[in-house]
Amino acid sequence: MDIKFGFADTSRELVIRVAGEQDAYLKQVNDALANNTQLEIEDEKGKKFIVRTDRVVYVELGSSSQHQVGFAGV
């Protein structure tokens, strides 16, 4: 699943690919935004991210779909 953060005053986004349930991350993000605290997230490869929530404009949580590559014989 991908978590995409949009920040104020910049057109760049931060996309973190995580393993786990969407509802658990949704609660974690909502709590951090409501309390204006830092958000700590670990990605699929074990890298840790600390996101300051005071500049977050939007967060998009969703399943990343696997793109098929190549040709399929019918």
Distance separating alpha carbons of residues 39 and 52, to the nearest angstrom: 7
Note whether residue 68 is domain-resident.
no
Residue 37 belongs to a domain with what CATH number? 2.30.30
* pLDDT for the residue numbered 36: 94
User: Does residue 67 have a pLDDT over 60?
Assistant: no
E-state strands within the chain: 2-7, 13-17, 39-42, 48-51, 56-62
Note whether residue 23 is domain-resident.
yes
Contact 54, 32 (CB under 8 A): no
Percent of the chain with pLDDT over 90: 80
User: The whole model's pTM is what?
Assistant: 0.79
Query: What's the average model confidence in pLDDT over 20-40?
Result: 94
> What's the total number of domains in the chain?
1
Q: Which tokens sit at 24?
A: 């658990």
Note whether residue 57 is domain-resident.
yes
Domain residues for 31?
Answer: 2-62
Kindly state the helix (H) or strand (E) to which residue 31 belongs, with its residue range: helix 22-35
